[in-house]
Amino acid sequence: MSTTDIVVLTSAALLCVAVAIVAVIALQELRRPLLKGRLDDLLREVSAKKDNCP
């Protein structure tokens, strides 16, 4: 096995690992509510707290 083969196989392995990591992160984000919905909820909570302050 030549050095070129080792470099190509290592690069392919690293690419597979990177794709797997990105896929896991993407799947986790799909399970969370959309960012717009989370921001709307947060703004509602902050404004409710602000209204209750003396």
Any idea what DSSP says for residue 1? -
Distance (Å, rounded) from C-alpha 9 to C-alpha 27?
Answer: 27
> Mean pLDDT score of the chain, rounded to an integer?
86
| pTM, 2 dp | 0.55
> In percent, how much of the chain has pLDDT > 90?
44
For residue 34, the enclosing domain spans: 3-52
Read off the pLDDT of residues 9-34 as tens digits, 9 standing for 90 and up.
Answer: 999 999 999 999 999 999 988 887 77
**Structure confidence at residue 39 (pLDDT):** 82
Name the band, by pLDDT with cuts 50, 70 and 90, for residue 48: confident
- Per the structure, the count of domains in the chain is 1
Phi, psi angles (nearest 5°) of residue 33: -65, 160
Q: What angle do CA 21, 27, 33 make, to 5 degrees?
A: 135
